[in-house]
Copies of this chain bind each other. A is one copy, B any other.
Amino acid sequence: MITLASDFGTPYPAAMKGVLLGRTDARLVDVGHDFPRQDVRATAFWLREVLPYFPAATHLVVVDPGVGTDRAALVVEAGGHAFVAPDNGVVIPTVRELAGDEFAVYEVEYEGTASNTFHGRDVFAPAAADVHDAPAVTAVDRVAPADEYVDLSFPDPEVGEGTATGEVLVVDGFGNVVTNVPGEFLDGLDRARVDGEVAPVGRSYAAVDPGGRVVTVGSHGNVELAVNRGRGDGAFGLGVGDAVRVERA
């Protein structure tokens, strides 16, 4: 099984599918092709939320603002999965989620074999097909252990007795504001103060009336700021990277 994730929209992912299907009989599964454009950090967050639910698979991930530079093309083995992606950290949080520090990083040599603007088609898709079909990553031509790789991690919040100070990691398509504050901070609370304003704490969006603000714990386990059937980003006035202070109230 090969999964595909990119920020390509329509139609570039189809060229990757064509290349894959020309080289392998693997089942293809779209993870999504509308990841935030050229946003490595947000994509890294979302991939960590979804890829660990897959059985062992080869994951082709192409969010690649550095295409055409000398950034490396990587294969990462972790927990029975293989990730084929540019060396910009986009798969690292998923890798650590699956396997902690127990992973192996390989580099795909591609000098002179590819266009300068579409490595998804010319470098990553062929590598993903070959990795999928090979008995081991090291059996694939042009692949060798990497000396180094670009790491990526999300900032840790400061969690005190009554106050947690964190930041907005991403805003999802519904407008839900995902922070890095751990959900446990809300344990036993009926309401919380967010950047000074009190809002109810609820087990779900529907814990408040439609249009009402709610502080909840998302499926990712972090504190999430939402509006029932509305958008939390507007209501809380928060966007990606903004600092956020949550207090017991």
Interface residue ranges, A against B (CB under 8 Å): 1, 3, 5, 8-15, 17-19, 21-22, 28-35, 37-38, 46-47, 49-55, 57, 65-69, 115-118, 121-122, 172-174, 202-207, 216-219, 224, 229
Contact = CB atoms under 8 A, between A and B. Distances in A.
Contacts of A34: 9-10
- Count identical subunits in the complex: 3
Contacts of A18: 50-55
Contact of A117 (B50, B118, B122, B218): B218
Contact of A3 (B3, B14, B47, B205): B14
A29 B10 contact: no
Given A203-B68, A219-B118, A50 B174 contact: no
A67 B205 contact: yes
B32 A10 contact: yes
Given A11-B5, A117-B216, A216-B116, A21 B54 contact: yes
16 contacts: A5-B14, A10-B33, A11-B31, A12-B172, A15-B50, A17-B31, A18-B54, A19-B53, A38-B174, A65-B229, A68-B203, A68-B206, A116-B217, A117-B224, A118-B218, A118-B219
Most chain-B Cβ atoms within 10 A of its Cβ — which of A1, A34, A117, A207? A117
A22 B34 CA distance: 24
Contact of A205 (B31, B46, B55, B117): B117
Nearest to A13: B32
